[in-house]
């Protein structure tokens, strides 16, 4: 990705190939650790491992059916989430999911961070004060194109004369192409700009005491951030007093 002429970073397929290779290596490494621990503790052969996984799956299915019957007997009243959720954390697949949760973009990764957000909402003394979305005006940021010019000076010309003045004459389609060809640099710039904006403007302005954020990216590399913040000056939750 950082080859001097940026031939790999600008290729439409190589970044996805590289990401796929990294994710596969991480998954193989982490799952290997989980399997070795399981083999050392419970199973000695692959056959025993398969039998154990199948037996645990059947036990989890029986437990889910039992909880569903209990819920129907309560005539639709919901049990607390911790009692509805099957206790599979000590199972082999549960252990593998716990390891895989360290790999970005996996379902286990987002399940872990979703649970982290739910725990913050449940345990912090106040409810989240503000839900926000920060979007990127990447077609209209002169400093973004100055950043791209500075980091592509030794490669194929980014703009006709390689000057910031050329940006003013570009159409939206041309700007989108520039951003798409340098998606890695745009993503880095957006992430750093959002971080500084949050630290130097949002936090002092609103008196933020805690926050949770998630970056998302469009096809051309344009990013935006969703999140919630807790403000120290906001009133405490009064729902209990109202009830």
Q: Is residue 212 part of a domain?
A: yes
21 with 108, same domain? yes
149 with 117, same domain? no
Q: Give the H or E element holding residue 235.
A: none
Count of domains for the chain: 2
81 with 166, same domain? no
18 with 115, same domain? yes
Beta bridge partners of 224: 135, 216
48 with 115, same domain? yes
Q: Is residue 9 part of a domain?
A: no
Q: List, run by run, the mean pLDDT of 10-residue segments along the chain (243 residues).
A: 74 84 89 72 69 79 79 60 46 77 85 89 88 88 83 61 64 81 85 92 92 80 85 70 47
Q: What is the pLDDT at residue 197? A: 93
Tell me the C-alpha distance between 209 and 129, whole Å: 11
Q: What is the pLDDT at residue 211? A: 93
DSSP state of 139: T
Beta bridge partners of 71: none
153 with 80, same domain? no
Q: What is the pLDDT at residue 85? A: 46
Containing domain of residue 210, as a range? 130-242
What residues have CB less than 8 Å from 56, skipping those under 6 apart?
88, 91, 92, 93
108 with 136, same domain? no
What residues have CB less than 8 Å from 64, skipping those under 6 apart?
86
Q: Which of 123, 144, 173 is the last residue of a domain?
A: 123
């Amino acid at each position: 990705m950082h080859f001097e002429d940026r031939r790999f970073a600008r290729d439409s397929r190589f970044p996805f190939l590289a990401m796929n290779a990294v994710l596969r290596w991480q998954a193989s490494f982490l799952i290997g650790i989980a399997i070795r621990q399981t083999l050392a503790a419970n199973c000695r052969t692959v056959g025993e491992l398969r039998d154990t996984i199948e037996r645990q799956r059947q036990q989890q299915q029986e437990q889910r059916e039992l909880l569903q019957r209990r819920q129907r007997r309560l005539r639709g009243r919901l049990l607390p989430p911790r009692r509805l959720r099957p206790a599979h954390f000590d199972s082999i697949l549960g252990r593998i999911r716990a390891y895989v949760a360290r790999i970005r973009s996996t379902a286990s990764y987002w399940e872990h961070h979703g649970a982290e957000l739910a725990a913050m909402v449940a345990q912090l003394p106040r409810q989240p004060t503000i839900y926000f979305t920060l979007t990127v005006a990447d077609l209209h940021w002169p400093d973004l194109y100055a950043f791209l010019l500075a980091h592509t000076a030794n490669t194929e010309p980014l703009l006709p004369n390689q000057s910031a003045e050329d940006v003013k004459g570009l159409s939206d389609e041309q700007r989108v192409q520039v951003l798409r060809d340098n998606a890695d640099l745009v993503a880095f710039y957006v992430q750093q700009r959002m971080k500084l904006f949050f630290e130097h403007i949002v936090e002092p302005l609103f008196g933020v005491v805690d926050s949770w954020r998630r970056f998302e990216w469009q096809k051309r590399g344009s990013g935006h951030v969703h999140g919630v913040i807790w403000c120290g000056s906001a009133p405490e939750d009064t729902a209990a007093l109202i009830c």
